[in-house]
Amino acid sequence: MYAVIMAGGRGTRFWPRSREKKPKHLLDIISNRTIIQETVDRIKPLIKPKNILIVTGKKHASSLIKQLPEIPMDNIIIEPEGKNTAPCIGLAALHIQKRSGDAVMAVLPSDHAIVNSKKYLEIIRTAAQLADSEDALVTIGIKPTGPETGFGYIERGDSSGEIPAGEFFRVQSIREKPDLPQAQEFVRSGKFYWNSGMFIWKTSTIMNAIFRFLPDLYAGLLIINQAMGTPREKEAVRQVYKGLKSISIDYGVMEKASNVFVIPGDFGWSDVGSWDALREISAKDINGNAFIGGSDVITEGSAGSLVYSPQKLVALVGVKDLIVVETKDALLICQKGKSQDVKKIVGALEARTLKKYL
């Protein structure tokens, strides 16, 4: 069995801590380990480092090699440009097939938080057994705690049986990020899970699905496959990627395939997708304030806020529901509940060509 950890993206919603050269998964946001180090640590009891592949961009490869010395350098797969998750997964499947033929691969995001690692590994293990025996595309769904509009959703169909980790279901539909009324309806129905972005399948199963639903991508992967292991490989990947459409595996395959199953995952999951999400999973004082970064924080009549400050004393007086993030060259002050919009600040910085803050 292999793990494929997708380490792309910029983490724009974690500005000003996340920057182009150091996106969210390379930061120590949750503990004194970086998020990707925690991701690798979590899966290692099930999958040995020699079978853990990291797919990333050229900008971040050297940082990953430095942070993950236990991962062989040949296991760092570099995409010449980001084209969303479908090409990333297809490229990783080629590498696994080249090494081991048909094998089960668990596709995992690099930047999520998991509280119960033991339960998480149990579900990954049983999902792999299901994927192997049923020729299935398996995903893990998270029971929603509220009508979140920042996640995609998975609608479960009929129960398909029992596994050691619990029941699993055939997927009825996969939905894109909804508006609030639709998210509220999803939660009320009791039939929907948050889409965790974790997938488990055999390499043959996903390649057959790409052949059927994404023929242009499949044709490009064939060209790469013919060049793998030769001096032409790097150039073949570059040329193929240049012509590929940017498309997610959810939209390109999972929404169209019929052999898709979901296993509910109850292991304390967060995508840590924003400063608001970080506050939710952080320890808080009696007034609901969370303090991260190590510096002193003094509060007077203040509640419900998050402060990240590694260097300066921060004092909050008579305020509530704020997010305050201090770095050596920038200060973010944001209303709680609005941190998804921090990515708009990154867009504004790009528009004003303020590259030193990116």
Same domain, 156 and 132: yes
Same domain, 193 and 262: yes
Same domain, 165 and 36: yes
Domain holding 34, by residue range, is: 2-270
pLDDT of residue 66: 94
Domain boundary among 250, 270, 290: 270
Residue 14 has pLDDT above 80, yes or no: yes
Domain boundary among 237, 255, 270: 270
Same domain, 266 and 311: no
Residue 203 has pLDDT above 90, yes or no: yes
Same domain, 105 and 162: yes
Name the percent of the chain lying above pLDDT 70.
98
Q: Can you tell me the distance from the alpha carbon of 201 to that of 226, in angstroms, rounded to the nearest whole number?
A: 23
Q: What is the mean pLDDT of residues 208-225?
A: 97
pLDDT of residue 22: 87
> Which residues have a Cβ under 8 Å from the Cβ of 117 and sit 6 or more positions away?
42, 45, 267
Same domain, 264 and 282: no
Same domain, 128 and 258: yes
16-30, 99-113, 296-310: least confidently modelled range: 16-30
Q: What is the mean pLDDT of residues 129-153?
A: 90
**Number of structural domains the chain divides into:** 2
Same domain, 196 and 290: no
Contact of 169 with 160, CB cutoff 8 Å: yes
pTM of the model: 0.91
Same domain, 279 and 156: no
Please tell me whether the peptide bond between 16 and the residue prior to it is cis, using omega within 30 degrees of 0. yes
Same domain, 169 and 246: yes
pLDDT of residue 271: 86
Same domain, 292 and 149: no
DSSP for residue 50: G
**If residue 211 lies in a helix (H) or strand (E), which one and from where to where?**
helix 203-213
Query: Which H, E and C letters describe 317-346, residue by residue?
Result: ECCECEEEEECCCCEEEEECCCHHHHHHHH
Same domain, 143 and 71: yes
Query: Tell me: the pLDDT tens digits for 26-52?
Result: 988 888 899 999 999 999 999 999 999
pLDDT of residue 273: 82
Query: Tell me: the pLDDT tens digits for 320-347?
Result: 999 999 999 999 999 998 888 898 999 9
Cα 62 to Cα 83, 105, 117, 356: the distances in Å are: 20, 24, 28, 21
Name the percent of the chain lying above pLDDT 90.
72
Residue 163 has pLDDT above 70, yes or no: no
**CATH number of the domain where residue 209 is located:** 3.90.550.10
Q: Can you tell me the distance from the alpha carbon of 89 to that of 109, in angstroms, rounded to the nearest whole number?
A: 11
How confident is the prediction for the chain on average, in pLDDT? 92
Domain boundary among 210, 236, 270: 270
